[in-house]
Amino acid sequence: MAMPIDQKEWLSLTEASELLGVHPATLRRWTDAGSVPFFRTPGGHRRFRTTDLAAWMQGKQSTALTRQAEALVQNAVGYTRQEMAHKHVSNESWYLAFEHESDRQQMRDTGRKLFGLAIQYMSRTRDHEPVLQEGRRIGEFYGQECARQGISLVDTVRAQFFFRESLLRAARPGQASPGQYDAEDVRIHRQLRHFLDEVLYACLDSYEATCRHLLQAGGKA
C-alpha cells in the first residue's frame, strides 16, 4: 500500500502540487520565483519537504504569493479603468443610474473584491466551491442593486459583459494569441470563464427576484 502524500518526508513536483491543490506548472513557477522552498536532486528533479510545504501553507512563507495576487488584481483594475475611459462608459445609462459617488465607490470596491476572487478561483485545482459561493453572492448583490436602481435587464447584462470581457482580456497571458496558449493557460482561462458565468447567472437570478419583490411591494401599497 502506498504511503499517503502527507505522511511522506519528501515529495515529487506532482505530489507537492497535489498537496497544495495547484497545477504542477504553477508550483514550478513558484519555485523558479523563489516563493516555495525545494531541493534539487543530482538528476535535476525538484523535491519538496512536507514540513516546509506545511509551513508555507500556514502563511509563514506566503507573502510573495500574496503580492503576486495583488499585482494581478491591480493589473485587472488598471486595465478596466483604461477600457472605461476608451469606451466612454461614464455615458452609459447603467453607469449614470448610480448618481451618488458613495454608490459608485461601493460598486468599485465590490468589483475589486470580485477580481480578487476570480484570480483565486482560476489559480486553484481544487476547493473551488467556497470561492465560487462568494462570487455568486457578489453577483446577487449586483442584480439587486441594478433592479433597485431601475436599470433594465438588457443594460444589466451589458454592464456585466463589459467587466467580464475586461477581466478576461486582462488575464490573458502576455496578451498571447490563442495559438500560443499552453495547456495551463487553457485550463486557467476555462476556469475563469466558468467563474464569471456563475457570477452572471447569480446576478440575473437576483435581478428577477428583486423585480418580483418590488412589484409585489408596489401592489400592496
What is the value of pTM for the model shown?
0.66
Strands across the sheet containing 46-49: 10-11, 46-49, 39-40
- For 120-182, the DSSP string reads HHHT-SS--HHHHHHHHHHHHHHHHHHHHTT--HHHHHHHHHHHHHHHHHHTSGGG--GGG--
Residue 56: what pLDDT? 79
Residue 175: what pLDDT? 47
Per-residue pLDDT of the chain (221 residues; tens, 9 = 90+): 344 544 578 899 988 888 888 888 888 888 887 878 888 888 888 999 888 888 877 664 445 555 556 677 777 888 888 889 988 999 999 999 998 899 989 998 999 889 888 888 887 777 788 899 999 999 999 999 999 999 999 999 999 999 998 888 877 655 445 555 567 677 778 888 999 999 999 999 999 999 999 988 875 54
